[in-house]
Amino acid sequence: MRMIVKTLCKLDELSLNPVLVSICWQVLLFLELDVEIEFSHTLILGLSVWMAYSADRFCEHLHNNSSLSRRHSYWKDRKKVFYGVWFSAFTLSLLGSGIFLDWQKITAGMFLSSVVFMNLLVCIQENKTNSIVPYFREARTSLLLSIGCFFFPFFKTGINFSQLALYLIILTNLFLINCLATNYLEESKKFENLLKTKNAHEKKNLDIPNLLKASFFSLFFLLCMNKEEASEFIYSLVLCGFASCILVRTKIDVDLRRVFLDFCYWIIPLIYFSLSLL
């Protein structure tokens, strides 16, 4: 058990959890929409997500002197290694795009990449000026990650716009729950440290944000609208939602709760995909 926890923490430090989450949900979307899975699509998505998340976390510690989690500070003393790995991933993604993608996907991918880059600049500016609008970053991140998961399946299926919009809203809502729960846990950690430094005589937990509660309910409402077929996609959404509800309020260490939260978001769709192959 200790080895499993250590492995999950290392995945978190290396910013690989978002990669696994995006890949597993992309694969589940391929299965849900009944289209063929291509390794090149999964590779390009994984590299792109890692570059975006690792760059954001690498830049955050440059402008934030407060205590950061391990996943934010891991590359702090490994800058040369980070630059080398990041530019290698960037080169590999460019080569993969040029070899495996047609001009339509490349054009759309360039537009999406520019939006992700602009989001990174906004995040850097927010960290630098400490002018963060509550929950706005989480909403941007959730939407961009959902679009990334849908990018390749969208080009390979004849799904209409209304169906696409519903799937996109549902998945964005699910990722928003993850982002809000993660933010809540990180704020709880800071709150606990603050109480320790001030020797407060009364300790209490932070209230769960109303937006997080609303996201839970809206997710299940949207699922009820799309309950025509109880597919692996729907089952995974429900279980991830319940896992978020449970992990937010458990009594284990805050850092471990956050790690296990991300773990649930990729292991559940992976299990359902594996079972579909049997």
Q: Is the dihedral of CA 238, 240, 246, 248 positive or negative?
A: negative
Mean pLDDT of 222-246: 66
**CA gap 181, 175 in Å, rounded:** 10
Q: How far apart are CA 184 and CA 194, in angstroms?
A: 15
By CB neighbour count within 10 A (0-12 exposed, 13-18 middle, 19+ buried), where does 112 fall?
middle
Q: Report yes or no: 215 and 252 within 8 Å, Cβ to Cβ.
A: no
Given pLDDT bands bounded at 50, 70 and 90, which one contains residue 207? low
Give the max Cα distance, the chain.
63
25 confidence band (pLDDT: 50, 70, 90): very high
Mean pLDDT on 255-276: 86
User: Where is pLDDT greater, at 134 or 41?
Assistant: 41
> Across the chain, what does the average pLDDT equal?
79
**What token pair was written down for 1?**
């058990």
Structure confidence by residue, pLDDT tens digits, 134-184: 678 888 899 999 999 988 888 887 677 777 787 888 888 889 888 888 888
> How large is the average pLDDT for residues 73-90?
85
